[in-house]
Structure 1
């Protein structure tokens, strides 16, 4: 006698069998990560079933949802990779190996900006700011100082510029360590801050911040 061949399993029957499967003892010790992965794969499987048997409208909606989910996963993965790369990047000082004056850094920044190398232009302009503040004795000439440390120290000497200096330090860190490409607007903001700082005077001793 030929064995009995069961017909297609309906959705209710499939859900019932899945519930029975999950009630097995081995799933009691399943890790949270495994549970999330299983639920996600089941979610995708249900969507694929909808694409295959849900009609034109249902299939279209399911296809859109799947596309959005995949795009979201790619974006999340790219964000995590970029953040991890930035966290692993060594944090060096503001200046390079060569000692240059503030004027020389400004000239280098302008050349780079004119040639469209705005990442380098932003870096050189912040170095011009740092060197100018050192030359005016508004900050100490500490070797290996980071952009954040420069902004904090300069912000104490020039409290009215504390927020702008912190933003400039973030811009420098973004293009130097974060993989963010420099833009003309970001360089223009750095150049404007440099020009304003050149005219600034330190707060008198004992003055409120």
Structure 2
């Protein structure tokens, strides 16, 4: 009997409804599986591109942390202590110097185009303070300080003056308050141009300076040579 006849005979001997198993070569089977698994149905719950990037980033951070802790005295605890010290140092510098934006915009003027009296600025400052708007309260109180000095002719009313310029010029006739005037100008710059939020302590210091200056007798002849 020929080979084809033997195969036909073997198939005929199988139980009814059964057929010999179909075998597929390995490479075509793999390609078929890849095509099937590439369908969107199987990827509906896959993480997005951003999530995958974050996962890779945190994996890198974890590896970096592991290597650094192994090279740092005290291991992980020592590394955490060093990181905490760095954070505290940066926070202290930020608090002392204000935002880096101050350097780029600190030369902006103290007043806008509207001309108001020192009393008007004080009233606005107190209203902002009562509402808890400390940044605006600090700004208006500093303007009240400078406007009051202009009204007393201790400063000439000059458009475009900055807070730092006002403090420097006023220190000539008020030398005992020079330090407080410079600190007030720095506070104004920090909250106005440096992105540092005002608070009640800042406002209290400016308010105290304003009241002190109204009672301080100026040195009209300037400081001794």
Q: State TM-score, norm by structure 2.
A: 0.61
Check whether the contact 2:102–2:189 (CA below 8 A) recurs between aligned residues. Answer: no
Check whether the contact 1:44–1:66 (CA below 8 A) recurs between aligned residues. Answer: no
Equivalence for 2:166: 150
Equivalence for 1:96: 112
Q: Deviations over 1:36-89 (max 9, x none)?
A: xxxxx9996263478xxxxxxx9xx41122323444566677768x64333233
Q: 1:159 aligns with which of 169, 175, 191?
A: 175
Q: What is the deviation of 1:183? A: 1.5
Q: What is the deviation of 1:129? A: 0.8
Change (3 A) 1:76 1:205: closer
Higher radius of gyration, 1 or 2: 2
Q: What is the deviation of 1:208? A: 2.7
Q: Distance in 1 between matches of 2:64 and 2:204?
A: 51
Residue 91 (structure 2) pairs with residue 66 (structure 1):
no
Check whether the contact 1:126–1:168 (CA below 8 A) recurs between aligned residues. Answer: yes
Q: Deviations over 1:128-186 (max 9, x none)?
A: 01111111111011111111100011110112211111111111112112222212111
- What residue ranges of structure 2 are gaps of 5+ in the alignment? 1-62
RMSD over aligned CA atoms reads 3.0
Equivalence for 2:132: 116
Q: Distance in 2 between matches of 1:147 and 1:205?
A: 23
- What residue ranges of structure 1 are gaps of 5+ in the alignment? 1-40, 51-57
Change (3 A) 1:74 1:201: closer
Q: Does the residue aligned with 2:100 lie in a helix, a strand or coil?
A: helix
Q: State TM-score, norm by structure 1.
A: 0.65
